[in-house]
Structure 1
Amino acid sequence: MGLLLGGLLLILVIFVALFVNISPEFGGTITKEQKLRYAQSKNYKDGVFINKGDIKMSMGFGKMMKIIGQSLGAQPNSKPEKRIAVEKIDSISVADYQGASRLVWFGHSSFLLQMEGKNILIDPMFGAVPAPHPLLGVKRFSGSLPIEIKKLPKIDAVLFSHDHYDHLDYGSIQLLKGKVDMFYTPLGVGVHLSEWGVAEAQIVEMDWWEETQFHGLRFTCTPAQHFSGRGFTDRGKTLWSSWAIQSSTENIFFSGDSGYGSHFKEIGKKLGPFDFAMLECGQYNELWSEIHMMPEETAQAGLDVKANKIMPIHWGAFKLAMHPWTEPVERVSKKATALGIATTTPKIGEYIYLEADQISNERWWEEF
């Protein structure tokens, strides 16, 4: 029996090793030359990127046992009772659009931003499962997307916040790369795009507080409090970030993934106020609060960055934590009301116009 178990374990180890080394989902590997360049960053220490104050998610034995216990225990309402219906958008109206700035939410943290005649995708994860293999994750809550990738118009730029599977998806890149002009990423994330066939001339990697001009728009790579990695040995090898996007008349903020920290006030002081802020709210737990905000902290972050209006994101598409799936939007809305912050909660696929005074607060999730 011992020999049998040992043999099965060896086969499992070999299978996992082969999968990690053969599957393209895991992306590229940072080179020695890139490490030397990244070492010039204030956010790089001992071969990995770090958070401000070197804050990290501690994973001692006791905490790990609590997480395992929670994941094996009852998790009521952690997924919708039925597939979420999404608003469909017309490919021609999207391609021909030249009006006021607007956004389309694809669920979780993915957006299409149309601003000053430019089409910009933010963290375009359009896959069904946020994992390196479909069997390793839970399927998307909605049965479809607002628009198929192949029907999207030419994309002028794509912004990525970090390299986790729920934000950077191999399959999505394969379908998108032929219609995208430029990709903007935090330091190191470009290595995955290169591995997946994107030309290096189309990739711009940026450190925190670096900015670039793009056809009249300004992209600023801003801090976040998180971590990175797609495999077993690449934790912290690439940087994570938030983004500020500014036109001649509008200023918006995208938080990426982040725990709550002083960087929000710093961003607000340097780059605010913001007309609109998309703020992470979901997939949280007190056991990993260093890297994901609790909903009440999301509302406070809206105040910190000096946002006129906030939208909770990182919820509504995937199950990556044990809380009820609608709890994030309920809690953040309640706290935002107490703090006097305007909050919008649009449906997936609904157009969000930045200049509009009207706020979409239909409790659409209650249907599901």
Structure 2
Amino acid sequence: MKKRIQKILKKMLITLLSLIGILIVAYFLIVKFYPSFGGDVTKKDYESYTNSKQYENGKFRNLDANVPQDLGFNDMVKLSWKFFTAKVENGRPKDDLKVQKIDSANVADYKGDTRFIWYGHSAFLMQTQGKNILIDPMFGKVAAPMEFLGENRFNKEMPLEIEKLPKIDAVIISHDHYDHLDYDSIKKLKSKVEHYFVPLAVGVHLKAWGISEEKITELDWWEETTYKGLQFACTPSQHFSGRKMNNRQSTLWSSWVIKTPTDNIFFSGDSGYGEHFAEIGNKYGPFDFAMLECGQYNEQWQDIHMLPEQTAQAGVDLRAKKIMPIHWAGFKLALHSWTDPIERVTKKANELNIPLVAPRIGQAFTINNIENSPSNWWKNY
């Protein structure tokens, strides 16, 4: 009887190990042949990053080397289980968010003041000085390498589909996570875009997707470049990177400063709250307009995603004249209600006396004119 039990246990162990082996092999095959996972940074690539203060021992790092904080195995299991099983009250809008559509001719012919069209989450079309700039152009259905791995975005329609966009002078990307850098969006945009500006090593994904190296400019933190009369500065953020299980911190993440002849603009990308906001404000501020991350947060990972109250404070640190919360109203990537970000940041911004704007998705607005935006439009959902 004892030998029989041992035999059964041995078979079970072999079966389990075989299954694990099959899953590991399947994962690496999918990653290798499914293009949305992006490219791999080579040893030769890394040799060119050794002068970067952010690069150390084969990985990029934050100003605070202890960020991101590594959760213990038990914490990770508990958090993962909670994310996939917990029912979040008002976690998604009760209906698909209705976007404000914009005519393609209106976009193609626009020559006025610097204006923005928000696509939800962190994606923008910015028009300035007769130039068209896309910021973190994630127009995909899910923030994942494959559709079955993620929930659908909140807005089914887009203000203006990629196919109807005019020529794009520049694309600015903050980091390589799926909710900011989307394979299908980049492929559809490929024939329209003149140049890409990305943090160090992020270009490896673009090159893997058929973008020529000549069209890609990679910058380290505090590096600047000019393009068609505009100044772009790659500035710090407090976050992390990686599109696969085995390549975390393989590319750099950043925020961006965009200076036009008339406006000074800040885009945060993803970031936990830190001293870098005041440092950026001192070096490049004051800002006329700051787009600041505010959503997909949790107390356990606030070192890499700000809480709404910190978003408002970051606006003060940056010396921004006006802030707009972003990284919300797009995807459900955390366990808070979908309106929690906008409600909390609005309250804190009022306390700090910093002007806050919250246009609808698709609403075309300039920095000094965002009228006709229904107050608290999100309460309709």
What TM bracket, shorter-length normalisation? Answer: over 0.9
Q: How many Å separate the matches in 2 of 1:357 and 1:82? A: 25
CA positional deviation for 1:67: 1.2
| Match for residue 14 of structure 1 among 5, 13, 25 | 25
Partner of 1:253: 266
Asked if 1:40 corresponds to 2:51, the answer is: yes
Q: Is the 8 A contact 1:344 1:359 kept in 2?
A: no
Deviation by residue 1:45-82 (Cα, 9 ceiling, x = unmatched):
11100000212232212431441343122321111111
Deviation by residue 1:213-240 (Cα, 9 ceiling, x = unmatched):
1111100000000000000111101000
Q: Which moved more, 1:330-339 or 1:6-15?
A: 6-15
Report 1:92-241 matches (<5 A).
Answer: 92-241=105-254
CA positional deviation for 1:152: 0.3
| Match for residue 327 of structure 2 among 295, 307, 314 | 314
Partner of 1:330: 343
Partner of 1:292: 305
Deviation by residue 1:186-230 (Cα, 9 ceiling, x = unmatched):
000001001100010000000001001111110000000000000
Partner of 2:4: none
CA-atom RMSD in angstroms: 1.4
Partner of 2:357: 344
Larger Rg: 2
For structure 1, list consecutive stretches of 5 or more residues without a partner in the other structure. none
Q: How many Å separate the matches in 2 of 1:137 and 1:146? A: 22
Q: Which moved more, 1:340-349 or 1:3-12?
A: 3-12
For structure 2, list consecutive stretches of 5 or more residues without a partner in the other structure. 1-10
Give, as a single letter, the amino acid of the residue that structure 2 aligns with 1:52: L
CA positional deviation for 1:39: 1.1
Partner of 2:3: none
Aligned length: 368
Partner of 2:279: 266
Report 1:45-124 matches (<5 A).
Answer: 45-54=56-65, 55-71=67-83, 72-124=85-137
Q: Is the 8 A contact 1:279 1:298 kept in 2?
A: yes
CA positional deviation for 1:361: 6.2
Q: Is the 8 A contact 1:98 1:117 kept in 2?
A: yes
**SS of equivalent to 1:88:** coil
CA positional deviation for 1:11: 3.1
Q: Is the 8 A contact 2:359 2:370 kept in 1?
A: no
**SS of equivalent to 2:64:** helix
Q: How many Å separate the matches in 2 of 1:225 and 1:360? A: 32
Q: Which moved more, 1:322-331 or 1:31-40?
A: 31-40
TM-score in terms of structure 1 length: 0.97
Deviation by residue 1:154-199 (Cα, 9 ceiling, x = unmatched):
0000000000000000000100011100000000000100110001
TM-score in terms of structure 2 length: 0.94
Q: Is the 8 A contact 1:269 1:305 kept in 2?
A: yes
